[in-house]
Amino acid sequence: MDLFQSTTNADALPLGNHVLFSSDDVDHARAAVAEVYCDHRLEVIGRNPFAAQHNRLSGKALSINVMTYGAKTMIAPGALEGFYLFQFPVRGHASVNNGKNRYEIGGGTGGVINPEASTTMIWSEDCVQVMMQIEKRAFIEAACAEVCLPAGASLQFSGANKLHNSEGRAFLGILDYVIREAERGEVLLGGDTLLSKQLERTLMVGLLQTQVHNFTSVVTTNTGPMPRIIRSAESYMRENLGAPIMVEDIASAAGTSVRNLQGAFRSRYGRSPMTVLRDLRLELAWEELSNPTRTTRVTDVATELGFFHLGRFSEIYRKKYGCTPIETLRAARPGEGFGPF
């Protein structure tokens, strides 16, 4: 399946049922974009006719946008100030000047515009971009949690980044999934459920993992005892999600004491190792219930992952995902009449 292709019309832009505006008037387009982004200068510098369209799916802390101007266009917003902007051309290319960063995106590369630096862009006449607009405050909070960004530190992205590797494909796959579900009428962003909040956080973390920034080394290096302990522990957990393991087993696999293991997890996640293990098991349960076979049963999924009290399993599952396990299963295979257990 190709990424970012409309599910209804091969020639249409993705998110075609979430049109913000469509216009061949430059002033109208500039004003409409300014309402959701920021004030900017917009000039047509090519010969093709101007034909702008902006589709937009709004969440709580971020929005997913699909845009084209039709013609070769220069956009000069200055400093974005309140938000970061990830850009990924699915057709054509764009040149970006963001402070000292100067790069070209397109052909499988994307980039993030920093909010503090003055920005100027030139989009090619055939450019269609999938973009994420992320509130600066929310992104900084995510970075503090995920890459230990110190309080008051600045998060700065740099350059164009290829998204051809496994992490890049996974990130784009999640973005594409959210877009496709919205086209089917299932809007996953913007709700008050834990699933909506988790999806937004996952997309932010995806950018932290796939785009170069001033804390990339924290994400990618293998130095330091705490990251090694956590990586070893989490690897052991993922390999034994269905086994009756205890915190002593995890500590032994990580080559440390229970006390050091608990301290590492508290510092990194603010949670105990066993709580992290429980959440990993819940994630696997959600994945299996969301992609069921004809014989998938909630009881079997729960017990195979060590949840033997079904009422408690249903309660913590609902708190994490905003729905019960059986609701997830029924949504994954509607109309088939399978029993809940």
pLDDT surpasses 70 at 246: yes
What is residue 258's predicted lDDT score, i.e. its pLDDT? Answer: 87
What is residue 105's predicted lDDT score, i.e. its pLDDT? Answer: 96
Give the mean pLDDT of 85-92. Answer: 97
pLDDT digits (tens, 9 = 90+) for 126-144: 899 999 999 999 999 888 7
Give the mean pLDDT of 2-22. Answer: 84
What is residue 227's predicted lDDT score, i.e. its pLDDT? Answer: 64
pTM beyond 0.75: no
Average pLDDT, the chain: 89
Reduce the secondary structure of 319-333 to three states and give it as a string: HHHCCCHHHHHHHHC
Q: Confidence band (pLDDT; 50, 70, 90) for 231?
A: confident
Give the mean pLDDT of 191-205. Answer: 88
Where do runs of H (alpha helix) occur along the chain?
A: 26-36, 136-146, 166-183, 194-210, 216-220, 225-239, 247-254, 258-269, 273-290, 298-304, 310-321, 325-332
pLDDT digits (tens, 9 = 90+) for 36-80: 999 999 999 989 999 999 999 999 999 999 999 999 999 999 999
Measured in degrees and rounded to the nearest 5, phi and psi for residue 47 equal: -95, -20
pLDDT surpasses 60 at 225: no
What is residue 16's predicted lDDT score, i.e. its pLDDT? Answer: 94
Angstrom distance (rounded) from CA 99 to CA 78: 9
Q: Confidence band (pLDDT; 50, 70, 90) for 219?
A: low
Give the mean pLDDT of 92-119. Answer: 95
Contacts of 210 (CB under 8 A, 6+ apart): 161, 163, 167, 168, 171
pLDDT digits (tens, 9 = 90+) for 256-310: 888 888 888 888 878 899 999 998 999 899 888 988 888 999 999 999 998 989 9
183 vs 291, more confident: 183
Task: Tell the residue number behind the tokens 């009756």, with chain if given.
Answer: 244
pLDDT surpasses 90 at 341: no
Amino acid residing at 35: E
Percentage of the residues of the chain whose pLDDT score is greater than 70: 91
What is residue 308's predicted lDDT score, i.e. its pLDDT? Answer: 87
Which domains, ranges and CATH numbers included, belong to the chain?
19-213 (2.60.120.10), 222-332 (1.10.10.60)
pLDDT surpasses 80 at 18: yes
Q: Confidence band (pLDDT; 50, 70, 90) for 338?
A: very low
What is residue 222's predicted lDDT score, i.e. its pLDDT? Answer: 37
What is residue 224's predicted lDDT score, i.e. its pLDDT? Answer: 41
Measured in degrees and rounded to the nearest 5, phi and psi for residue 67 equal: -140, 150
Angstrom distance (rounded) from CA 213 to CA 22: 34
Q: How far apart are the first and last CA of the chain?
A: 33
What is residue 10's predicted lDDT score, i.e. its pLDDT? Answer: 60
Strand partners, 134: 62, 84
